[in-house]
């Protein structure tokens, strides 16, 4: 009898990738984490540092440095490549050309090695790069998806928690649309353990300034970036949580960048929406009833993503 190890690959060992690798160990998600980065000195140092922390992890975890071909037996690969200094513009689209060219340079190498698992993309612009990874890998769309509005939803939940003084898991709320400026809050779907937000009018704790709250969530990344010139804890925790849902087959409903094939009237793009995540990747897109205003706003978000996908194609189809 042999017991299958849970093997996860992380491509790109910058601020985000290194923290994803760390969380995969500290959260007890993976048995083996394979690290891949074009900077040999950086990835070797990160591997050594992570192995120094392995003693304090809940179970045995082995970290290894590999090349692209060495990722072949991974169950899940997390793409976290990027160039953080490009975010100085405070717009994730500024990363597009660099991200597209980097991803286009290695996905075929990973696939040539025989990889047949699930890709989870973090690299920005998230929805655009997730679309690119799927096209270049040829994997089924449900087995390529991104963290999308998962982090943005966490920011929304944190903001609601702070205003209401309620614990983060005591209510349901999420962001939809682009992991970027073109995202929206479906206010009609926010509920407090079954009680809709609309039924809590009159209590100042639940009187939200919709415009201010949306801006707060969208600008949350830049608030973090301003002082430390990166974001890492929140997005890395998001990525590790997605991987855990896959490897543990949790069937967890969570906001991710998933492919839309008619849901919400949209087709042919990856977009941040709630979906069931399990062993088969995105197993179901959750289609909720939106108000007419929310439908119009979500369509604007999707149009922005569609436009960015078209822009990205010029960088990898040359």
Contact 152, 179 (CB under 8 A): yes
Helix (H) or strand (E) holding 35, with range, is strand 32-36
Bridge-based pairing state of the strands 76-79 and 7-11: parallel
Mean pLDDT, rounded, for 114-135: 97
* Domain boundary residue, one of 108, 123, 146: 146
* Helical ranges in the chain per DSSP H: 15-26, 40-53, 96-112, 126-137, 150-164, 210-218, 220-228, 233-247, 292-316
Domain endpoint, select from 121, 146, 171: 146
- 177 and 204 share a domain? yes
Same domain flag for 112 and 182:
no
CB contact burial 122-158 (16+ within 10 A = b; e otherwise):
bbbbbbbbbbbbbbbbebebbbbbbbbbbbbbbbbbe
Query: Does residue 171 sit in the same domain as residue 237?
Result: yes
Continuous segment of H or E residues that includes residue 32: strand 32-36
- Reported as a single tens digit per residue, the pLDDT across 235-279 is 999 999 999 999 999 999 999 999 999 999 999 999 999 999 999
Q: Calculate the alpha carbon distances from 106 to 100, 138, 184, 229 in Å.
A: 11, 14, 33, 26
Interhelix angle 126-137/292-316, rounded to 10 degrees, is 60
Domain that includes residue 114, residue range:
7-146
Confidence at residue 318, expressed as pLDDT on a 0 to 100 scale: 61
CATH number, domain with residue 57:
3.40.50.720
Shared-domain flag, residues 73 and 119:
yes
Residues 116 and 167 reside in one and the same domain: no
Claim: this prediction has a pTM higher than 0.85: yes
Give the per-residue pLDDT at 91. 67
Q: Looking at the structure, do residues 220 and 299 belong to the same domain, yes or no?
A: yes
20 and 126, same structural domain? yes
User: Would you say how long the chain is, in residues?
Assistant: 318
Residue at which a domain ends, from 146, 162, 186? 146
CA–CA separation, 112 and 102 (whole Å): 17
The yes-or-no verdict on residue 167 having pLDDT over 70 is yes
Q: How far apart are CA 49 and CA 19, in angstroms?
A: 12
Residue 92 and residue 208 in one domain: no
* Sign for the pseudo-dihedral over CA of 97, 100, 103, 105: negative
Q: How many domains does the chain have?
A: 2
Task: Examine residue 2 and state whether it is found in any structural domain, yes or no.
Answer: no
Asked whether residue 318 is assigned to any structural domain, the reply reads no
Q: Are residues 85 and 223 in the same domain?
A: no
Among candidates 175, 165, 161, 156, which has minimal Cα distance to 271? 175
For the annotated catalytic residues, the residue numbers are 179
């Amino acid at each position: 009898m042999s017991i299958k190890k849970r093997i996860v690959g992380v491509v790109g060992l910058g601020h985000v990738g290194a923290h994803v690798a760390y969380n995969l160990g500290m959260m007890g998600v993976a048995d083996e984490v394979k690290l891949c980065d074009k900077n040999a000195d950086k990835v070797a140092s990160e591997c050594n540092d992570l192995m120094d922390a392995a003693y304090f992890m809940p179970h045995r975890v082995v970290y290894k440095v590999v090349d692209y071909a060495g990722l072949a037996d991974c169950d899940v690969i997390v793409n976290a490549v990027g160039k953080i200094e490009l975010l100085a513009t405070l717009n994730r689209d500024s990363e597009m050309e660099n991200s597209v060219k980097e991803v286009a340079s290695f996905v075929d190498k990973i696939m040539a090695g025989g990889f047949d698992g699930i890709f989870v993309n973090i690299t920005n612009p998230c929805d655009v790069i997730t679309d690119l990874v799927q096209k270049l890998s040829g994997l089924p769309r449900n087995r390529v998806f991104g963290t999308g509005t998962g982090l943005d939803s966490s920011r929304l939940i944190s903001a609601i928690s702070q205003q209401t003084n309620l614990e983060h898991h005591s209510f349901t709320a999420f962001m939809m649309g682009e992991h970027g400026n073109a995202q929206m809050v479906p206010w009609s779907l926010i509920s407090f353990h079954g009680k809709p937000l609309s039924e809590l009018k009159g209590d100042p704790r639940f009187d939200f300034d919709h415009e201010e709250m949306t801006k707060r969530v969208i600008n949350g990344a830049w608030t973090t970036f301003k002082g430390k010139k990166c974001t890492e804890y929140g997005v890395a925790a998001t990525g590790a949580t997605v991987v855990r849902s896959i490897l543990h087959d949790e069937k967890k409903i969570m906001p991710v960048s998933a492919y839309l094939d008619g849901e919400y009237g949209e087709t042919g793009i990856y977009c941040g929406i709630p979906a069931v995540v399990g062993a088969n990747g995105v197993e179901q897109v959750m289609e909720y009833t939106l108000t007419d205003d929310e439908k119009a706003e979500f369509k604007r978000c999707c149009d922005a993503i569609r436009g960015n996908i078209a822009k990205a194609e010029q960088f990898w189809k040359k």
